[in-house]
Amino acid sequence: MLDQIHLLAAVTVLGVLEQAYFVLQVIYARRVFGISPPKISGPPEFERIFRAQVNCSEYFPIFLALLWQAGLFFHQGLAAALGLLYLYARYCYFIGYRASSSKRLAPMYFGTGILWILVAASALGILHFFLSHYVGLNVLQLLAA
Amino acid sequence: MLDQIHLLAAVTVLGVLEQAYFVLQVIYARRVFGISPPKISGPPEFERIFRAQVNCSEYFPIFLALLWQAGLFFHQGLAAALGLLYLYARYCYFIGYRASSSKRLAPMYFGTGILWILVAASALGILHFFLSHYVGLNVLQLLAA
Amino acid sequence: MLDQIHLLAAVTVLGVLEQAYFVLQVIYARRVFGISPPKISGPPEFERIFRAQVNCSEYFPIFLALLWQAGLFFHQGLAAALGLLYLYARYCYFIGYRASSSKRLAPMYFGTGILWILVAASALGILHFFLSHYVGLNVLQLLAA
């Protein structure tokens, strides 16, 4: 079983390490700007770093859910590759947002695009499974014939 | 293996699409009320939409965790059906909260009720597995005898 | 398959129950301090409880991701035991943060330490799988020889 998920597991752990990096950046920014918990408001420079981390956290479960469905039902290698691209897009998003609100946009669109590809891969893979499981229709075999 | 999880996977992807819809509503509300990131405060109309999305995001990992445990250890079809009901409850919650704070309550209680049923199904399923795995006690066979 | 994940599933459901407890504490605090949704700011006593819950929610998907990778690729029993310790650390964190911002620190460091152990276990387990799967190198057998 593990050989069907080891690439997904590796990308998942990398994703956790990226989240840890973002959290450390917020802790560091709290020190620099002197904003102690539970406060979450401050100068825009701090709020951008804080919101960048919150946004990445919010998308993390969505990303993992899609990564694993696409990997299990479509193709593990492709899902893992898209996962790595997404983590790279999130890194660019965080660095961009820290610099200015507008610089978060390009990597945000890029990351969202990857998520939609993962949605499509998951949906196609699950649909293919439904068709062959319930209707006995194997689309791939039909296309190959 | 996939035939034991394909319904859970389908509900998971539907759940992601619902989260995407909520995020788009916040982006749209930011434009309507002229509130650019990283700002998250504004008129109550905006804050309700924003908080509705944050609340749905916060519960999403909890929902997925319960959906999958209930589906794997209790019954996949039942878990998936409850999952669809939960996604419907969350849609009503979002629409209700956008209209007024009090209109979020009824669908919130409904959704929470479904989560508790998923907790019960997960706990019973896992308990049943523990009893048959460690104690050699198969409760279902005892009840049938 | 279920015997390889039943301990992880049990810890996952326990974790969900803990999150439910935290959410109930916030609902209770909203009543005590008279702060109705969508408002999230108020006296420090309220904001600490609110932020404690948000922080626990934010880490929940990260915790689950690590628990399951460590359990699947390293050792299920060890991962589940570390998971229980983490849930205990989170409980202490919540109680501590409610009392004062500084009292959240010790359990926060403890919980973070456990997460890093889960990261290490996951990474080692996945690395071991990669080496034996792709290179044909079984490190454990080499060490035993």
- pLDDT at site A141: 78
- pLDDT at site C141: 78
- pLDDT at site B10: 98
C47 — pLDDT class (breaks 50, 70, 90) = very high
C137 — pLDDT class (breaks 50, 70, 90) = confident
Contact A133 B6 (CB under 8 A): yes
Sorted by sequence, the CB contacts under 8 Å of residue B83 that are 6+ apart come out as B8, B11, B15, B63, B67, B118
Q: Is the pLDDT of residue A140 over 90?
A: no
Terminal CA-CA length for chain A: 30
Long-range contacts of A96-104 (CB under 8 A, 24+ apart): A97/A48, A97/A49, A97/A51, A97/A52, A97/A55, A97/B38, A98/A25, A98/A45, A98/A48, A98/A49, A98/A52, A100/A48, A101/A48, A101/B36, A101/B37, A101/B38, A104/A48, A104/A52, A104/B37
Q: Which of C3, C13, C41 is the best residue to mutate to test the B interface, defined by the most B CB atoms within 10 Å of its own CB? A: C13
Q: Is the pLDDT of residue B36 over 80?
A: yes
Chain A hits for C12, CB-CB cut-off 8 Å, are none
- pLDDT at site C3: 94
Q: Is the pLDDT of residue C144 over 80?
A: no
Choosing from C30, C31, C90, C98, which is the catalytic residue? Answer: C31
Contact yes or no for C90/C111 (Cβ under 8 A): yes
- pLDDT at site B141: 78
Mean pLDDT to the nearest integer, C50-78: 98
Measured between alpha carbons, how far is A40 from A26 in angstroms, rounded to an integer?
A: 10
Measured between alpha carbons, how far is C52 from A40 in angstroms, rounded to an integer?
A: 12
- pLDDT at site A137: 83
CATH, residue C81: 1.20.120.550
Looking at every residue in chain C, the average pLDDT score rounds to: 95
Mean pLDDT to the nearest integer, A73-98: 98
Domain span at residue C58 reads 2-144
Mean pLDDT to the nearest integer, B44-54: 96
Q: Residue C138: helix, strand or coil by DSSP?
A: coil
Amino acid type, C8: L
Percentage of residues of chain C with pLDDT beyond 70: 99
Question: Which tops the pLDDT comparison, B40 or B144?
Answer: B40
> Distance from B37 to chain C by nearest Cα, in Å?
18
Tell me: the pLDDT tens digits for B51-77? 999 999 999 999 999 999 999 999 999
Mean pLDDT to the nearest integer, C49-70: 97
Tell me: the pLDDT tens digits for B107-141? 999 999 999 999 999 999 999 999 999 988 887 77
B143 — pLDDT class (breaks 50, 70, 90) = confident
Specify the number of domains making up chain C: 1
Contact yes or no for A69/C78 (Cβ under 8 A): no
Amino acid type, A8: L
Mean pLDDT to the nearest integer, B79-96: 98
Q: Is the pLDDT of residue C139 over 90?
A: no
Chain A hits for C65, CB-CB cut-off 8 Å, are 12-13, 15-16, 64
Q: Is the pLDDT of residue C142 over 90?
A: no
ipTM (interface predicted TM)? 0.94
Measured between alpha carbons, how far is C101 from C49 in angstroms, rounded to an integer?
A: 10
Percentage of residues of chain C with pLDDT beyond 90: 90
- pLDDT at site A10: 98
Contact yes or no for B21/B30 (Cβ under 8 A): no
Contact B65 C16 (CB under 8 A): yes
Mean pLDDT to the nearest integer, B14-38: 96
C64 — pLDDT class (breaks 50, 70, 90) = very high
C138 — pLDDT class (breaks 50, 70, 90) = confident
- pLDDT at site B57: 97
Q: Residue B7: helix, strand or coil by DSSP?
A: helix
- pLDDT at site A79: 98
Sorted by sequence, the CB contacts under 8 Å of residue C14 that are 6+ apart come out as C84, C87
φ and ψ at residue C138, rounded to 5 degrees: -100, 100
> Closest to C38 (Cβ–Cβ): which among B4, B47, B123?
B47
Q: Which of B58, B86, B116, B124 is the best residue to mutate to test the C interface, defined by the most C CB atoms within 10 Å of its own CB? A: B58
